Amino acid sequence: MGSEEANAFDAKDAPKIAGELRESFASGKTRSYEWRTSQLKTILKILDNHEQDMILALRSDLSKPEMESYIQEIAMLKNSCKATLKSLKGWMVPEKAKTSMTTFPSSAEIVSEPLGVILIISAWNYPFYLSIDPVIGAIAAGNAVVLKPSEVSPASSALLAKLLKEYMDTSCVRVVEGAVAETAALLQQKWDKICYTGNGRVGRIVMEAAAKHLTPVLLELGGKSPVVVDSDVNLKVATRRIIAGKWGCNNGQACISPDYIITTKDFAPKLVDSLKEVLEKFYGKNPLESKDLSRIVNSNHFARLMKLLDEEKVSGKVVHGGERNETDLKIAPTILLDVPRDSLIMTEEIFGPLLPIITVEKVEESYDIINSGPKPLAAYLFTSNEKLKKQFVMTISAGGVVVNDTTIHLAVVTLPFGGVGESGMGAYHGKFSFEAFSHKKAVVYRSFVADAAVRYPPYTKGKLSLLKALVGGSILGIIRALFGWS
């Protein structure tokens, strides 16, 4: 739907849109390889033709630097689309499966079939990437799609609505703009899968709505992603990579940005000094004027972050930054040291440019701290200790783990991306997107020959002996049962 039409969307339109897409899916047009690839190539065309339009929309919504806009949204979408086009034919080929003696003679395969009509509800912080990447997966799997972009990034939402209407097959791919009322109306409809990116509160609402129709869900919900820093690291490299993952990703407004650091008491002063030095090098002495930092998305989120920063429990814990400009919705990169673990900044997901540091006597104490809270979407470890690396991977349950860097696993299309526990369920990206929006259908083929009487009544002791021998895999037992030998 175009932007003007989307503004007119109300509850009564939801059943109509869902019904029209279900008719299109039922016609079979989305199932063909040709339709899928034509739509994926169209997405590439959109990305090529409207790169600057997207960059301008992101600047309007988030003051996002052009470099971040290109690398973290446009380039990643191009890579995702190209990788899918390259591999799709192979993904669509049925997978051969072994059969057993009990079904002999037979053959079997696993067929990936599209689920049907998919609802995708995306987030505001990466409005193009988090909208289009799951659409790529849903189309690759042969589905029809309704996309609901976030109203919190209105310029990007309007551009998505305009471009997808202009370029895509609108009988099978629609965009609906709107806010809470429009999302609620969509959630009342029956879908074949719902993909939601956002917070846990809305994730629970999505799950509740999906349960009414027994609709499966893919939820990417974020969480407090920890960074554990050992003392044996290359401090300069570690610092740069932490800063890139925190403030170089939407100024901390990213689901996998580092949320807090755990390090030892002895190493903390060195780490803080290094963070200060590199932050000044990256963003200058007055970061509020830096063009390389995104602004806070709106006044509500700005006020939420100020509540975390100004809580009495964390008063005096700021060791760097803290400057803010409410008019421009800018907050400087801020570091806090030794904040209480029961403070708001340590119990709520930050989703902004504030970075608290917790200190411990030994780095291994970080395991209990992390595992005492909800499972994070991502967990990061910086160390040269091979034993510690293995312990961390085995001990910490998270959606994804990166050792000696932050956030880069998102760019690896051969890896699944998703949460665990309260940070989400299900995964996508690359082939995992294709599988997320497909049903793995088991198919067995048999001929009319060798129709064994043993499976049919009347049931005899001889037949039971033969079945037991078949189950047990005993060749001698099968011979004895066949010939009645004792």
User: What residue ranges define each of the domains in the chain, with the CATH number in brackets?
Assistant: 3-221+429-440 (3.40.605.10), 226-415 (3.40.309.10), 454-486 (no CATH)
CA distance 327 to 299: 9
Which of these ranges, 60-64, 295-299, 448-452, has the smallest mean pLDDT?
448-452
Query: Ramachandran region of residue 452, left (φ > 0), alpha (ψ -120 to 50) or beta?
Result: beta
Direct distance between the N- and C-terminal alpha carbons of the chain, in angstroms, rounded to an integer = 75
Q: How many CB atoms lie within 10 A of CB 122?
A: 28
User: Which carries the bigger pLDDT value, residue 384 or residue 468?
Assistant: 384
Tokens of 34: 């040709």
Burial (CB count within 10 angstroms: exposed 0-12, middle 13-18, buried 19+), residue 82 = middle
CA distance 351 to 235: 25
pLDDT band at 6 (very low <50, low <70, confident <90, very high): very low
The angle that helices 180-187 and 13-26 make with each other, rounded to 10 degrees, is 50
Beta strand pairing call for 193-197 and 217-220: parallel
Tokens of 385: 């200790």
- pTM, two decimals, is 0.93
pLDDT of residue 3: 42
pLDDT band at 473 (very low <50, low <70, confident <90, very high): low
Please give the single-letter amino acid code of residue 261: I
Which of these ranges, 105-109, 206-210, 353-357, 379-383, has the smallest mean pLDDT?
105-109
Average pLDDT over residues 134-151: 98
Q: Active-site residue 220, yes or no?
A: yes
pLDDT of residue 480: 60
Average pLDDT over residues 116-137: 98
pLDDT of residue 471: 73
CB 418 within 8 A of CB 137: no
Proportion of the chain in helix, strand, coil states, percent, rounded to 5? 50, 15, 35
Please name the residues in contact with 94: beta carbons below 8 A apart, sequence gap of 6 or more: 109, 110, 111, 112, 443
Active-site annotation holder among 255, 349, 422, 435: 255
**Residue in this structure with the two tokens 């820093």, named with its chain if needed:** 229
Helix (H) or strand (E) holding 193: strand 193-197
Average pLDDT over residues 163-181: 96
pLDDT of residue 477: 61
Cis ω for the linkage preceding 15 (within 30 of 0) = no
Active-site annotation holder among 73, 177, 182, 220: 220
